[in-house]
Amino acid sequence: MDFFNPGTCFHFGRQLFSGKKGKETITGGVFEMDIKKLAFRNLLRNKRRTLLTALSLFVSGFVIVTLHGYLRGALDASKEMIIKLDTGHVLITTKEYFERRIFLPQEEYIQDLDEVQKILDNSKYVDFYALRIKAGSMIFTKNGATKPAYIFAIDPQKEKKTFDLSRKIVEGENDLTKGGVLAIDLARSLRVKPGDTIIILSRSVYGGLSAIKIPISGIATIGYAAFDRSLVILSFENARKLLKMADGAHEILVFLKKEGDINKFIRSLKLPENLVAKSYTFVLGGFAFFYKFADIFYMAIYILITLLAAFAIVNTMTVAVFERMREIGTLKALGMTDNEIFLLFGLEGTIIGTAGGLAGGLAGLFTNAILHIKGMNFESMIKGIEFPFPYVIRPSVNPWILLIAFVIVTSMSFLASTLPALQAKKLLPQEALRTL
């Protein structure tokens, strides 16, 4: 037998690894059983190249998890802020007020509160609700400063869950019976402090001008740039006195026990004909679309990030194929099939992706957990923007994103390794053995 003939060597290898044990025939089983060990050994043989490739996938997994945590945390915080401060889960107003809500029409307010409150008190879907009086105004001070302001009347005792004023006070006190509370940037621009007196000028519900003179009881930070620049918080008594309103409110923000019951709750309402109830998604319009489909956009970004890292897998495995030509030829000559060669290289790429993606994802989840506790303060960066983002963002800590990142990175690693694996599969034993 001519052992220097590649074809003879190939057939001899097939016979060598096809034997008999008793009456059972073992064909190709050696490589099927050892292919995992062989893949691990090949990776450990060139530790530096393996580690560099795994590092790129580590970064990919880390970025996916941390980026998702930040973006989801920011969106959830923004959505929560809008719901608590502006819309509730369901917003109840008069029809005319809702149509012109952006202009704050003071004269369009809910006059018969008792009837609506009775309906809400008897609803099985309602957790609690909050009354709001809103209006535009001008503030005048003794030092001659004048600024436009946004009147925001609440009942602090009933809004602990939505607008806990006591936690927002940075100077003075939150007692609205003693005066008004100014947002911090508005107070700075007016150059006033607790104890000073201001005059608030607005338009009454009858269309004429109206003014009240009240002391400043406290200064608060709202945590939202647009509100910090313009908000003046009043008691219902002072707001109604200023606007010459009867016992009414412009808006009723309804907070449900379950957000998923919004449509059921709205259908169950039997409100007076002049009132409407709208879900927060309807009120927000385009913003709601952004919140709803954000995860789809983010998933596309995550896949793009992983694709960039997957190029490292393609590069590593392609180099490995050319460096291991003679080895591939020898393995084929000894009986390893084309599919087993393909599986070997695919498995090597998958192992690198699994290790790198899992380690990166765990590191990202741990980072998110730390930042969630401490919070990320972006006040200096978003102070001038109008988009409703809070100053402090706490990244979301969701174990599911770890699984998603792991699946994306591992899948991309396997797919990236298939190209060089196909190259290795197509090599003929005699051609590979001639390679120097």
Q: What is the pLDDT of residues 204-248, one digit of tens each?
A: 999 899 999 999 999 999 888 888 999 999 999 999 999 999 889
The pLDDT-based confidence of 309 (bands split at 50, 70, 90) is low
* Cα dihedral across residues 20, 26, 31, 34: positive or negative: negative
Q: Which residue has the tokens 């202009």?
A: 103
Per-residue pLDDT at 127? 94
Per-residue pLDDT at 312? 67
E strands, 51-183, where? 90-94, 126-141, 146-153, 169-172, 180-183
pLDDT tops 70 at residue 320: no
Lowest mean pLDDT among 31-45, 115-129, 153-167, 222-236: 31-45
The pLDDT-based confidence of 201 (bands split at 50, 70, 90) is very high
pLDDT tops 90 at residue 369: yes
- Taking residue 289's Cβ as centre, other Cβ atoms within 10 Å add up to 11
| Portions of the chain given CATH number 2.40.70 | 105-249
Per-residue pLDDT at 36? 81
Question: Left if phi > 0, otherwise alpha if psi is -120 to 50, otherwise beta: which for 134?
Answer: beta
pLDDT tops 70 at residue 92: yes
Per-residue pLDDT at 387? 66
Per-residue pLDDT at 265? 96
Average pLDDT in the chain: 83
Q: What is the pLDDT of residues 344-357, one digit of tens each?
A: 878 888 888 888 88
pLDDT tops 50 at residue 27: no
Q: Which of 273-282, 295-304, 377-386 has the highest mean pLDDT?
A: 273-282
The pLDDT-based confidence of 255 (bands split at 50, 70, 90) is very high
pLDDT tops 70 at residue 189: yes
Kindly report the CATH number that applies to the domain delimited by 105-249: 2.40.70
- Taking residue 394's Cβ as centre, other Cβ atoms within 10 Å add up to 19
The pLDDT-based confidence of 269 (bands split at 50, 70, 90) is very high
> Is pLDDT larger for residue 106 or for residue 289?
106
The pLDDT-based confidence of 390 (bands split at 50, 70, 90) is confident
Per-residue pLDDT at 18? 43
* Phi, psi angle pair for 17, to nearest 5°: -100, 20
> Is pLDDT larger for residue 424 or for residue 235?
235
User: What is the rounded distance in angstroms from the CA atom of residue 381 to the CA atom of residue 287?
Assistant: 21
pTM of the predicted model, to two decimals?
A: 0.73
Per-residue pLDDT at 3? 41
Contact by Cβ (8 Å): 181, 233: yes
User: What is the rounded distance in angstroms from the CA atom of residue 289 to the CA atom of residue 292?
Assistant: 5
